[in-house]
Structure 1
Amino acid sequence: MPKPKKQKFPHLVGSKWTAQQRTMGWRHFQVVNRKNQGKLVFAELVASCDPTVRFWINATVLKNRQLWKAGWQTLEEITG
């Protein structure tokens, strides 16, 4: 019996992220949705301060520490 494939990004929905550069005017985002398309995984991000600001991003981009950091960080932590 084949082993079930391990899901990529299993804890994606609900995770919080800090953009290293303002993105659509904001830095703090939360993942509210995920979509699998073939081998790719996409995350829908929503700005924590403005729920009307939302966009889809390839989830692998979130691994780029020059663009995104896991969790919500203060401005001092970002610029530090």
Structure 2
Amino acid sequence: MARKQKFPHLLGSKWTAQQKTWGWRHFQVVNRRQEGQWVFAEMVASCDPKVRFWLNAQQLKDDLLWRSGWQPLQAMERDEEDQIALK
């Protein structure tokens, strides 16, 4: 029986960084690499294709670092305000 692939829909997925990363917030996964048990994603800034970096794909599951899809800045600010109000 074949093993289940980790992060099967990673390639082509779009992400929004919670903090500016290399000067940008919106990224797309253009490549994936598996090294043993670890899966890595090559991220490219949507507005500047020269900005590229690899990260452990597990980090994309951390809501404090990344949001799935390209989120508008206003929605992210509203989410932050909602979290503060809940405290």
Q: Could you tell me the TM-score, scaled by structure 1's length?
A: 0.96
Q: Which runs of 5+ in 2 are unaligned?
A: 79-87
> Equivalents in 2 of 1:78, 1:29: separation in Å?
15
The residue matched to 1:62 in structure 2 has which SS? Answer: helix
What are the ranges of 5 or more consecutive residues in structure 1 without an aligned counterpart? Answer: none
Task: Name the structure with the higher helix share.
Answer: 2
| Distance in 2, Cα, partners of 1:37 & 1:77 | 35
The structure 2 residue matched to 1:61, chosen from 55, 59, 62, is 59
Q: How many residues align?
A: 78
**Rg larger for:** 2
Q: Which runs of 4+ in 1 moved over 3 A?
A: none
Indicate the residue corresponding to 2:8 in structure 1: 10
Q: State the TM-score, normalized to the length of structure 2.
A: 0.89
- Pairwise CA distance, 1:78: 1.1
Q: Indicate the RMSD between aligned Cα atoms, in angstroms.
A: 0.3
